[in-house]
Amino acid sequence: MIVGQQKDFEEIKKMISSYNRILVLGCQTCVAVSFAGGMREVEILASMIRMDRKMAGQDIEIIEDATLRQCDFEFIDSVENLVDDCDVVLSLACGVGVQALAERYPDKVILPGLNTSFMGLTEKMGVWSERCAGCGNCILDKTGGLCPIARCSKGLLNGPCGGSMDGKCEISSDVDCVWQLIIDRLRALNQLEKLEEIFPIKDWDVSGHGGTRKIIREDLTA
Amino acid sequence: MFSKVGSVLVIGGGIAGIQACLDLADSGYFVYLIEKSAFIGGKTAQLDKTYPVNDCPFCIRSDMHMECISHTNIEILTLSEVKDIKGSSGDFEATIIQHPRYVDIDKCTNCGLCAEKCPEEVNSEFNEDLGKRKAVYIDYPEALPSSFVIDRKNCLHFTEEGCNVCKEACIEKAIDFDQKEQNISLNVGSIIFAAGFDSIIPPYYDYDKLPNVITSMEFERINSLNGPYDSHLVRPSDKKEPSNIAWLQCIGSRDIYHNYCSSVCCMYAIKQATLARQSNKMLNATIFFMDMRVCGKDHERYYNRAKDEDNIRFVRSKVHNVFPVPGTDDLLIRYADEHGNIYEEIYNMVVLSLGLEPSHDAVKLARDLGISLDKNNFVETSSFTPVNTSIPGIYVCGAFNAPKDISESIAEASAAACASSLNTVSKAALHEPLEDTGQKPVPAGLTIGGGVTGMVSSLCLADQGYKAYLVEKTDKLGGHALKLRKTFKGEDVKSYVKELIDKVENHPLIDVCLNSEVKHTNGYAGNFSTRIAISTSAETREINHGATIISTGADFLRTNEYLYGKNPRVLNWFHTDKILSEEPNTIEKANTWVFILCVGSREPERPYCSKICCSNALRNALELKKLNPDMEIYVLYRDMRTYGLIEDLYTEARDKGIIFIRYKLDSKPEVEQEQDGELMVRVQDNLLGEDLIIQPDFVTLQTAIIPRNNENLAKLFNVPVDQDGFLKEAHKKFKPVEFTAKGIYLAGLVHYPKPIDETISQAQAAAAKAVTLLSKECISINTEAASIDLKLCVACLTCARICPASALIINGMGKPYIEPQKCFGCGICAVECPVKAISLEHFKNEPILAESKAILVDASLMSDRVC
């Protein structure tokens, strides 16, 4: 899932300072699950903005809503009336959602309320961590199901660097050395020999370094 | 054989009486509640806040009162007295006199017009005479039964004849001067005395002459929200805020007239001082005490906080005089410190921490009935049957049994309900109407832990006709009690335990599972399924039961202080018990014996009192002295916590020449082994200010009671553990044997260290609670349960992750489902749901938002007006 984090309130305030009729639009999918942009967060943020304006003695009108998925045109079409009715849309979706809105409503200013952080999972309530970097060429079969691209600070492919200490990464003792985890897991699975295969230089073209990525499935595009 | 009669008479409508009524009524018995005054609630209703939580007890209390008033199985007779009781267990005939209220309860709407018009103003008893009320009055607006009452002694209609002002004012025509005294005859199966206590103001300290010397109950009223001074902490003489207040402890306790400790005064004085400092941060609060007896759960922590954080001053001294300061309303206190230095201090107000005496009316009635009372007029009970009086079929609970606090009174009330129901046959069958789930509770209880607690609970369940499974980890029943010799009253524990084991093993409805441990449990109140693993075989057993009682007990500390484990003559309490029963020669030869108290208790890493060590040490010391009168016995203590009736032991020990030396935490005694192997104890004597050297033959360490590894158990049953590692009950004061999760109860040392009588009453109480559930016609639908709008749900799993009751599960469709019997309506899921798909029946978003918006509008209108 895409994990997002709400922007600093001061930053949001600045973005919307010249608008008096705002649609705060959440997304009920990934960012709702990561407690950044669901209906609950929409209501909290809207209340904060209202309080802030009230304290400053300024008027504001806020419409609150959330789409099921902001990255699908079909779903954002359903809020057309609300979008038409406001000066600006403050989107609490990920960057994909924000851009989908901007594409669908070319005349409207669309502002991002979130920073789209990473693709990851909920470790436990309130803790999310990155698991996939979307490199376009999955190697998890060779690394015991743990990704060194997303989880090694250096993105190394052939074992740990010299900075791996007591199972931790040299950048911080809070960060696990994923290579330690890979070795531990492969040992437990009795597959340590997998590490004997040397990774060649990785082709980063499919990771976006070769320009914006796009997939076209002929069989589905009628 | 008399046929048993299906109802119970409860005497006293205080907190204990109400609790007993509710448990009985919930189990399907019909109950008559006899209350002397016009309203139920008793002394607890007058209290401001309750220790050790400092929360306002009003909500919980008024819920209980309301439930009691509206229960179909309870008939309340206020303004009533028991005149006579005849008959015997199973068939009593009680004669009740009900005095007229002169107000028709059914008509009175509590509007207050009568009191507004009433010309006669008198002192309000509810406010301890500090405030006024009219001759027609209600104690406080929420008092129940919700009806005014006319006080005949002061009403002008009766005293001067003819006044009809209230009658004319009453729109509902509820005033009825023609009501007459009534004689009511009740046929009941058993009787519970829950008559409570009276407080007697001692003749010293010039209480009646000095207005700013007040009683502790007066302080409660002054500090109360509905008190006489509108909750302003001011003193009576000039209504000025005091800048310093002194609390004097042990007034009417531990004196020549009352050779017992009232148990509750230390804690309530600390509470009052803490609350007083909350309302006035500049206040100097001083508590003059002899021993700080804060033995209950979380009490020590409460004391430490008062001392260390709230800057309340504690002075160890019994104040002998309070003098008026001429020309002012202030008071002069003269006291001597521990070294004999005399000090004088001036206070604006002095609070006398009054002790508890058994209710005087109840003492008279008990005497008439031939119930045995002890020398202090408390009801005489055995430690093994803590709620049984000397007359079969008549039970006792609360402060009429011995001085005790609310939580112990409530546990005893439930215990009395349990015990009394055995004499009462047929249930009244007036069950509360319930929505029919079509599912009957499984008529069985599972008790975990086969010590005294577990055995008593199982027996209570089985005696009431329910199947009782008793799971014990070891290969025999009995637990720690097998090693105990005597209770503080001197009763023989060994023979009691033997008899108890016999009863349990031979009861047809009790299934004892030895060498067994719970591995897994699930289900909900009324229908649990638990898997037991038997260590002697590879088998497991699946048990289906409606209720669970956890009574896994506690352990004792194996200390590494004081040469314990290094020198064979440094003993633990049960070694001492063993020598006492098996080695008379050793005792005869011993010249000197030292007891060290608080070993491992009341330390920074274990900030609680183990409660039973003082009495155990004194009991053993006295036995040693009896066997060998020449032996010198020293008891090294920090505070002598012989609370309640245990004070007797302390007095006797001092009479017998046992020497008490107080030590402080920062100068603990030292135990050394000399070159010749002899023991040497060095302790600082406070009076002399010098070290004393004792060369004892034996040293007994009263080591702390420590929790077992309760974390696993807690996880298994999804119940909380407190900061000391004991299991955490639903409410420290009002729900001592329940958990927030329904259908699971706790009793005994797993809750907190306690002596055997309190353990047994908790065990009975837990069984009583289990029976209120097991006796239901069907498992009730939980109307508090949260519900999920699946159209909005995105299956983020947040609710399932955070639910404290594990009531939320993800079903096969990948959507959450709430098990209504497990959900207790805490609302956490509704708050956390990121898409706002969850709501609570009584707390839907829309009405609450509408309400808060309305409040905001009001507030902004008001602020506009101010501006």
Asked whether residue B369 falls in the same domain as residue B421, the answer is yes
Task: Assess B375–A contact: CB distance below 8 Å, yes or no.
Answer: no
Q: Is residue B569 assigned to a domain?
A: yes
- Please give the distance of CA B843 from its chain centroid, rounded to a whole number: 32
Q: Which of B232-241, B343-352, B779-788 bottoms out in mean pLDDT, i.e. has the lowest?
A: B779-788
Task: Assess B800–A contact: CB distance below 8 Å, yes or no.
Answer: no
Residues facing residue A119 across a β-bridge: A2, A132
Q: Which of A54-58, B340-344, B535-539 bottoms out in mean pLDDT, i.e. has the lowest?
A: B535-539
Say what the pLDDT of residue B254 is: 92
Closest to A68 measured CA to CA, from A40, A47, A38, A107: A38
The sign one gets for the Cα dihedral B719, B720, B722, B728 is negative
Structure tokens at B754: 């306690």
* Cross-chain Cβ contact B834/A32 below 8 Å: yes
Task: Assess B688–A contact: CB distance below 8 Å, yes or no.
Answer: no
Closest-CA distance, B797 to chain A, in angstroms, reads: 8
Inform me whether the pLDDT recorded for B1 exceeds 80. Answer: no
Asked whether residue B249 falls in the same domain as residue B339, the answer is yes
Closest-CA distance, B791 to chain A, in angstroms, reads: 10
Q: Which of B200-204, B442-446, B715-719 bottoms out in mean pLDDT, i.e. has the lowest?
A: B200-204
Inform me whether the pLDDT recorded for B431 exceeds 80. Answer: no
Q: What pLDDT band is residue B316 in, cutting at 50, 70 and 90? A: very high
Asked whether residue B218 falls in the same domain as residue B322, the answer is yes
Inform me whether the pLDDT recorded for B559 exceeds 50. Answer: yes
* Cross-chain Cβ contact A41/B802 below 8 Å: no
Q: Are B550 and B763 in contact (CB under 8 A)?
A: no
Asked whether residue B214 falls in the same domain as residue B314, the answer is yes
Say what the pLDDT of residue B434 is: 42
Closest to A61 measured CA to CA, from A19, A12, A20: A20
Q: Is residue B120 assigned to a domain?
A: yes
Which of A5, A39, A67 to mutate: most B Cβ within 10 Å? A39
Could you list the residue range(s) of the whole structural domain that residue B836 is in?
782-867
Long-range contacts of B854-857 (CB under 8 A, 24+ apart): none
d(CA B191, CA B270): 36
Inform me whether the pLDDT recorded for B796 exceeds 50. Answer: yes
Torsion of CA B386, B387, B389, B394, to 10 degrees: -160
Q: Could you state, in chain order, the average pLDDT of each consecutive group of 10 residues for chain A (222 residues)? A: 96 96 95 93 95 93 94 92 95 97 96 96 92 94 95 94 94 95 96 92 88 89 74
Q: Are B450 and B479 in contact (CB under 8 A)?
A: yes
Closest to B748 measured CA to CA, from B557, B553, B608: B553
ipTM: 0.71
Q: What are phi and psi of B385, to 5 degrees?
A: -130, 70
Cα nearest neighbour of B797 on chain A: A33
Set of chain A residues whose Cβ sits within 8 Å of the Cβ of B836 = 38-40, 43
Instruction: Say which DSSP state B158 is in.
Output: I
* Cross-chain Cβ contact B836/A41 below 8 Å: no
Q: What is the CATH number of the domain that holds B475?
A: 3.50.50.60
Asked whether residue B322 falls in the same domain as residue B272, the answer is yes
Could you report the per-residue pLDDT of B266-306, keeping only the tens digit for each?
999 999 999 999 989 999 999 999 999 999 999 999 999 99
Is the peptide bond prior to B568 cis by the omega test (within 30 degrees of 0)? no
d(CA B270, CA B351): 12
Q: Is residue B859 assigned to a domain?
A: yes
Assigned CATH class of A2-118: alpha beta
> 3-class DSSP state for residue B756?
helix
d(CA A62, CA A84): 13
Which of A27, A30, A33, A75 to mutate: most B Cβ within 10 Å? A33
Asked whether residue B46 falls in the same domain as residue B191, the answer is yes
Inform me whether the pLDDT recorded for B2 exceeds 70. Answer: no
Say what the pLDDT of residue B437 is: 53
Set of chain B residues whose Cβ sits within 8 Å of the Cβ of A70 = none
Kindly state the helix (H) or strand (E) to which residue B324 belongs, with its residue range. Answer: strand B321-324
Residues of chain A with CATH 3.40.50.2300: 2-118
What is chain B's mean pLDDT, rounded? 90
Q: Is residue B621 assigned to a domain?
A: yes
Task: Assess A38–B contact: CB distance below 8 Å, yes or no.
Answer: yes
Closest-CA distance, B576 to chain A, in angstroms, reads: 51
Set of chain B residues whose Cβ sits within 8 Å of the Cβ of A41 = 834
Asked whether residue B124 falls in the same domain as residue B137, the answer is yes
Task: Assess B859–A contact: CB distance below 8 Å, yes or no.
Answer: no
Residues contacting residue B358 through CB under 8 Å, at least 6 positions apart: B195, B197, B198, B373, B376, B377, B378, B379, B399, B400
Query: What share of chain B has pLDDT > 70, as a percent?
Result: 95
Is the peptide bond prior to B52 cis by the omega test (within 30 degrees of 0)? yes
Q: Are B2 and B398 in contact (CB under 8 A)?
A: no
Asked whether residue B747 falls in the same domain as residue B846, the answer is no
Closest-CA distance, A31 to chain B, in angstroms, reads: 9
Task: Assess A32–B contact: CB distance below 8 Å, yes or no.
Answer: yes
Closest to B125 measured CA to CA, from B104, B113, B103, B140: B140
Set of chain A residues whose Cβ sits within 8 Å of the Cβ of B794 = 28-29, 32-33, 38
Region B604-627: mean pLDDT is 95
Inform me whether the pLDDT recorded for B171 exceeds 60. Answer: yes
Task: Assess B854–A contact: CB distance below 8 Å, yes or no.
Answer: no
Provide the number of structural domains found in chain B. Answer: 6
Could you report the per-residue pLDDT of B13-31, keeping only the tens digit for each?
999 999 999 999 998 899 9
Q: Which of B431-435, B446-450, B644-648, B743-747 bottoms out in mean pLDDT, i.e. has the lowest?
A: B431-435
Closest-CA distance, B803 to chain A, in angstroms, reads: 11
Inform me whether the pLDDT recorded for B264 exceeds 50. Answer: yes
Set of chain A residues whose Cβ sits within 8 Å of the Cβ of B834 = 32-33, 35, 38-41
Inform me whether the pLDDT recorded for B257 exceeds 90. Answer: no
**Is residue B782 packed enough to be buried (19+ CB in 10 Å), middle (13-18) or exposed (0-12)?**
buried
Length of chain B: 867
Asked whether residue B482 falls in the same domain as residue B582, the answer is no
d(CA A2, CA A123): 14
Write down which residue in B433, B454, B487 finishes a domain: B433
The sign one gets for the Cα dihedral B286, B292, B296, B302 is positive
Kindly state the helix (H) or strand (E) to which residue B95 belongs, with its residue range. Answer: strand B91-98
Say what the pLDDT of residue B861 is: 53
Asked whether residue B565 falls in the same domain as residue B692, the answer is yes
Residues facing residue B333 across a β-bridge: B322, B345
Say what the pLDDT of residue A173 is: 92
Q: Where are the alpha helices (DSSP H) in B241-309?
A: 265-279, 299-308
Query: What share of chain B has pLDDT > 90, as a percent?
Result: 72
Write down which residue in B650, B674, B706 finishes a domain: B706
Q: What pLDDT band is residue B677 in, cutting at 50, 70 and 90? A: confident
Set of chain A residues whose Cβ sits within 8 Å of the Cβ of B802 = 125
Asked whether residue B634 falls in the same domain as residue B569, the answer is yes
Q: What pLDDT band is residue B5 in, cutting at 50, 70 and 90? A: low
Instruction: Say which DSSP state B44 is in.
Output: G
Inform me whether the pLDDT recorded for B867 exceeds 50. Answer: no
**Is residue B119 packed enough to be buried (19+ CB in 10 Å), middle (13-18) or exposed (0-12)?**
exposed
Chain A window 144-203: which residues touch B at a Cβ cutoff of 8 Å? none
Say what the pLDDT of residue A98 is: 97
Say what the pLDDT of residue B863 is: 46
Q: What is the CATH number of the domain that holds B801?
A: 3.30.70.20
Q: Is residue B267 assigned to a domain?
A: yes
Pairing of strands B149-150, B136-137: antiparallel
Say what the pLDDT of residue B805 is: 78
d(CA B501, CA B662): 40
E runs forming strands in B451-537 = 467-471, 510-513, 516-524, 527-534
Region B213-225: mean pLDDT is 93
- Residue in this structure with the two tokens 């064979």, named with its chain if needed: B568
Task: Assess B589–A contact: CB distance below 8 Å, yes or no.
Answer: no
Q: What is the DSSP string of B817-848?
A: EE-TTT-----HHHHH-TT--EEETTS-HHHH
Set of chain B residues whose Cβ sits within 8 Å of the Cβ of A40 = 832-836
Write down which residue in B332, B355, B378 finishes a domain: B355
Asked whether residue B312 falls in the same domain as residue B374, the answer is no
Q: Is residue B438 assigned to a domain?
A: no
Inform me whether the pLDDT recorded for B428 exceeds 60. Answer: no
Q: What is the DSSP string of B702-742?
A: EEPEEE--HHHHHHHHT--B-TTSSBPPSBTTTBTTB-SST
Chain A window 102-141: which residues touch B at a Cβ cutoff of 8 Å? 122, 124-125
Region B564-584: mean pLDDT is 92
Closest-CA distance, B833 to chain A, in angstroms, reads: 7
Closest-CA distance, B836 to chain A, in angstroms, reads: 6
